[in-house]
Amino acid sequence: MCGICAGFSTEDQIKDVVEGLKKLEYRGYDSSGVAFKENGKLKTLKSVGEIKELAKKLTNVKSNIVIGHTRWATHGVVSEENAHPHLSFDRRYAIVHNGIIENHKELRQKYFAGKEFASQTDTEVFVNLIAIQNGKTINKISSACKIVKGSFAIALLDERADKIFFAKRNSPLYVAFCDGCGMAGSDISVFAGKFEECFMMGNDE
């Protein structure tokens, strides 16, 4: 079990996402991390341990589009390399993921034989599976989701788009919007004091 929190707005979202991750720490506290856009490029920052350790690294960071994750280790040891977010080989996509990709070993052999991964996680396989699909990003995600087996809730950044993409199957993911800003989280607690309403995404949405 892991926790996802993501936010987008015309204002800085680092603080809101970190606050959200603190509320989700009960879902995992081995490690945490965020991905964000800075000067048109994807950046990631990760830390082992409690969310407060990640917060120390983000003191001077600002971004209006951010995805974050707090991890309970399932695939791979507790380390910054295995902490989310994970980047695709071409560094175009960054992903955070709650769930388990049951066929990740088969996918690794079929599509990425001989490739050197940065982590031991099923999630890094997932983001690279998305990256090699055809079409627009939303179509790539849809295609990859049909190939993977298991459960997932994901938030994904594309370096070429000022958007956050979400998808889920059998893992919780709630989303809330209002006037040009929004958040997503694994638990409705992340919206407290910020949004009056939220909705749960459906399976394979």
Each residue's pLDDT expressed in tens, for the chain with a length of 205 residues: 799 999 999 999 999 999 999 999 999 789 999 999 988 899 999 999 999 999 999 999 999 999 999 987 776 678 899 999 999 999 999 999 999 999 999 999 999 999 999 999 999 999 999 999 999 999 999 999 999 999 999 999 999 999 999 999 999 999 999 888 999 999 999 999 889 899 999 999 9
> Which pLDDT score, from 0 to 100, does residue 34 have?
98
Collapsing DSSP to helix, strand or coil, 34 comes out as strand
Q: What does the alpha-carbon distance between residue 195 and residue 148 come to, in Å, rounded to a whole number?
A: 33
Contacts of 140 (CB under 8 A, 6+ apart): 130, 131, 133, 134
Dist. CA 82–CA 74, nearest whole Å:
10
* DSSP annotation of 196: S
Q: What is the pLDDT of residue 178?
A: 86
Closest CA to 88 of 123, 120, 60, 54: 123
Nearest one of 14, 39, 154 to 94, comparing CA atoms = 154
Distance, in Å, from the CA atom of 20 to the CA atom of 200, rounded to the nearest integer, reads 17
Residue 86, strand partner residues: 95
Which pTM does this prediction carry? 0.95
CB 125, CB 108: distance < 8 Å = yes
The number of beta carbons lying within 10 Å of the beta carbon of residue 40 is 8
